[in-house]
Structure 1
Amino acid sequence: MIQSATGHTFIENIQNQKMKLASELLIHSTLSVSEISERIGFQSLNNFRKIFFKYFNMTPSEYRRANI
């Protein structure tokens, strides 16, 4: 039902929300990338970085530098 309504799977919708929150935290907070990763529910910093790069075509640190 979720996929037919949104065009994305449940997991994709969750990841979209996490990446949106991560991008906001990177711009509007002084939390470290590691703290942001933990706060949004990633157990692995490397996994967070890989998924973030998939969404934004840059690392979280590069994203922060480009948007402050």
Structure 2
Amino acid sequence: MPTTIQVQDDVYRMLKLLKREIDAESYNEVLKYLFRKAKRMDESEFGSMPGIEPFQREEIDRFD
């Protein structure tokens, strides 16, 4: 069932640009792409602090 939605001009331009970039056939595909991307965690989130040392327990545990 086709539906019309209203978006501002700048949003339309961004959708149009992304449609070209991902080679989508419709704006529906663009929106599905954006939803999938928003729902999964980016791989960049893993190891987002690469300079931090790996966690190691202290030799003497404070809670014994």
TM-score normalised over the length of structure 1: 0.31
| Higher helix proportion (structure 1 or 2) | 1
Identify which of structures 1 and 2 has the higher relative contact order when contacts are C-alpha pairs closer than 8 Å and 6+ apart: 1
